Structure 1
Amino acid sequence: MKSVAVAVGIALILAIALGVAREKPIGTEELVTVDANDIAALVEANNSFALDLYSLAASRKGNLFFSPYSISSALAMTYAGARGNTAAQMEEVLHFGSAPELVHPAFSQLNAAFNARGKAYRLSVANALWAQNGFEFQRDFLATAKTYYGAGARIVDFAGNTESARLAINKWVEDNTEGKIIDLIAKGVLDPLTRLVLTNAIYFKGRWENEFRPEFTANAPFYLGTAGAVGSTVDVPFMRQVERFRYAHTQNAQVLEMPYAGGDLAMLIVLPDEESSITDVEASVKDGGLEPFIDSLAYRRVDVSIPRFKFVDEMSLKEYLMRLGMVDAFDDKLADFSAMSDRRLYITQVLHKAFVEVNEEGTEAAAATAVVVGVKSAPVDMPVVFTADRPFLFAIRDVATGSILFMGRMADPR
């Protein structure tokens, strides 16, 4: 049985009218240092954006999975080249308003922490900048991308050989997600007017701190809609174990946190009560975030049953970002990326693709806010039963910083 992990890729594509200019040498910036408060502010901003985006994407039917951290990282690189109203809108959508000048060094420190070696799991974050050969970009923008995101400029020829550039970018994404994200950019997305593509890839693979024993896995019904609904079940493999986990029972949901080996990362599962629904949980998350759920957790013996699942999700984020208020960046007349280039640039597309697999050994890749009115009591000596046999919300987070790395909804484990 393979262990589980999360792999995610994202690409931002900016296009301008045809034109060739001088190429300037790329330097680096002097590193700006940040403290724990600055890191905490960025984590809060990223998590707020994650919940905003989830609330919009939740209108989609079926399974949902994305990496808000990957998306924020790629947009932050783009933000480095924005000015005027374009920058102001991006600051608001990404919640960067408190100290925008510290965004890039804070991302740099977070990425360095996530990429650190010697851990019981693998978590890696990679960035790249793909620039049109001969096109002039501002040296400060290129230096910021290189210094804080490790995204040195890779020269390609969108104008003369679009397909070759597309294949090179997709190969980089595939290599940096251990082959889990394939063909992120489809044919026709890039064209000869494309001048810049910014990519971010994030990959996670970790074993559970307490692994499920395969011999205890057995088929059981999963309710595709409301639990108990007639004719809406499928039989799927359920993993089971009884162990001490952080657990809570809120007004309309059970909450379970399952740590990965080493304890740095954990999966949070928010399971609606049988008389409730995933829609109710998502509404709670929209109103209050994940913190009320997390704050209510306490160690209990829990009889856990969750389905094995594996799926790929992809989406275009342009509409969601515009609905959140990032409008000018996509308008060829209003976009102001003058800190990126003297030529007029605008974003044509934002693409995201994510993979998640959860099984007995762990996760390979990748909320709902309800006001917690109290924790329901249960006998101390008997394990509480947590059976995820209906759609639920889940997130993978860095416990130390609180960063939401991945977030999704499991609606159909087939």
Structure 2
Amino acid sequence: MMKTKWYIGALAALLVACKAPTLQEEAAGKYGKFTVNGTERVEIDSMVNGVAFQLLHKMHSDQENILVSPLGLCYALNMLNAGAEDMTQQQINHVLGREGLADSLCCKMLLADAATVKSRSESPDDEVATLTSENKVAVGAGVNLLPAFEERMIRNYFAAIEAGDEAQKIILSNTLTFEGVWKEAFEPTETEPHSFTTEQGKATKVPMMRGQFDLNYMETDDYQLVKIPYKGDFNLYVLLPKTGKKLEPIVSSLNATVWQQAMKQMKMADVSLWFPKFSVAKKNGMKSVLKQLGMQDAFDSKRANLSNMVAERAYVDDVKQEVKIDFNEQRTHAEAKTTVEVAVLSAIDEPMKKEIEKRSVCCDHPFFYVVTNRFGAICFMGEYQQP
């Protein structure tokens, strides 16, 4: 126990010279391999995926592409939660579906990701999917963080504490970067123009990747669900409405429990897959959505209680998220930056393989997709409505 405390103290001392990912990698090297047990995995799935489907229901549009990072938002909200108190904290907990993830579990998730990045850097020829997470707290002129909050950010979130550009403001930020190499790549010569039809009936030619793969698959009367693995422990899930079915009612029926049940029903199949080669970038204002989900006091300058962060009165001025994702024949690249702007007032088992069946999945009309990490948590989520 004393040894562990010494490591944490040493890591905090390194903050001045190191950026957050370096701290995580340093910690991963000292602490060794991290595993998440069954109970902890349920906690992660319950919070992150619960938030994911709440966001999906509020943000769904049958005409615009959607892209959001539930995991990035959960990390940022957990950091905010550490500084909140009373009703403000209770409402953040309500959005998270519980009292957030324990700091220790967030710390473990960050370290597990850092360990994967570290092993990849040591064996660059063994390319695997990685997710890096960088947390920062930018403190503007005229603001003094409470020592306990600052120490909690450093110890549990490996957050770099730095000078901010805006006076009387604190910016909490999380940046996720995902690099995923397909376990089985698409052949570039097989990519060719193919019609993609929107729900309004508009057909547009898109570059469509094609391949024949053994993949986990399930279907209902309304949709097909296929799991496309990356090298490592990350996966892309694609939910495609069947002909004549609309995406909106299917999306509306989804929640974390339904999603988990669907994944349990998947079995290996010989899949003929058509998947578009595309990129999407979105700037999401999250304030309105979070208020709709019940997080209201935090945004109210008179009712917000962030007394565990600063001694002065403070409130959340805005929450934003910038996300982008790119799919091609070899890999997927995705980034998400979530920022929480705090204004300070003066004076986050593989299914069993059975008999192989042949299936065809042609993503030539609007579909829903998610990228999950090794814990099953949804890192990135989107609806591809139009090219």
Taking structure 1 as reference, are residues 381 and 51 closer, same or farther at Cα in structure 2, changes over 3 Å only? closer
The answer to whether the 8 A contact 1:42-1:96 is kept is no
Q: Does 1:311 align with 2:310?
A: no
Counterpart Cα distance in 2 of 1:150 and 1:254: 40
Per the alignment, residue 313 of structure 2 pairs with 344
Give the secondary structure class of the aligned counterpart of 1:365.
strand
In the alignment, which of 395, 400, 403 is matched to residue 377 of structure 2? 403
Counterpart Cα distance in 2 of 1:395 and 1:123: 14
Counterpart Cα distance in 1 of 2:104 and 2:173: 18
**TM score, norm. by length of structure 1:** 0.75
Per the alignment, residue 41 of structure 1 pairs with 43
Counterpart Cα distance in 2 of 1:297 and 1:156: 48
Structure 2 residue runs without a partner (length 5+): 1-11, 15-26, 28-33, 121-127, 336-354
Counterpart Cα distance in 2 of 1:108 and 1:287: 23
Q: Which amino acid aligns with 1:388?
A: C
After superposition, give the CA deviation of every residue in 1:262-294 in whole Å (9 maximum; x if it has no partner).
Answer: 3x0000000000121111221221485421321
Taking structure 1 as reference, are residues 382 and 128 closer, same or farther at Cα in structure 2, changes over 3 Å only? closer
**Root-mean-square deviation (CA), in Å?**
2.2
Greater relative contact order structure (CA < 8 Å, 6+ sep): 1
Counterpart Cα distance in 2 of 1:360 and 1:129: 37
Give runs of aligned pairs for residues 34-113 of structure 1, distance below 5 A: 36=37, 37-59=39-61, 61-97=63-99, 103-113=102-112
Q: Which of the pair is proportionally richer in helix?
A: 2
The answer to whether the 8 A contact 1:158-1:195 is kept is yes
Per the alignment, residue 114 of structure 2 pairs with 115
In the alignment, which of 146, 149, 152 is matched to residue 144 of structure 1? 152
Give the secondary structure class of the aligned counterpart of 2:308.
coil
Q: Which amino acid aligns with 1:140?
A: A
**TM score, norm. by length of structure 2:** 0.80
User: How many aligned residue pairs are there?
Assistant: 329
The answer to whether the 8 A contact 2:269-2:357 is kept is no
Counterpart Cα distance in 2 of 1:81 and 1:382: 52
Q: What percent of counterpart residues are identical?
A: 25
After superposition, give the CA deviation of every residue in 1:205-240 in whole Å (9 maximum; x if it has no partner).
Answer: 1111010001111111101116xx4xx100111111
Per the alignment, residue 9 of structure 2 pairs with none
How far did 1:341 drift? 1.1
How far did 1:59 drift? 3.8
Structure 1 residue runs without a partner (length 5+): 1-25, 160-193, 367-379
After superposition, give the CA deviation of every residue in 1:41-90 in whole Å (9 maximum; x if it has no partner).
Answer: 13311210111111101147311111100011011101100001001111
The answer to whether the 8 A contact 1:121-1:206 is kept is yes
Taking structure 1 as reference, are residues 224 and 60 closer, same or farther at Cα in structure 2, changes over 3 Å only? closer
**114-123 vs 137-146, greater mean Cα deviation:** 114-123
Taking structure 1 as reference, are residues 34 and 338 closer, same or farther at Cα in structure 2, changes over 3 Å only? farther
Counterpart Cα distance in 1 of 2:212 and 2:144: 60
In the alignment, which of 179, 182, 186 is matched to residue 212 of structure 1? 186
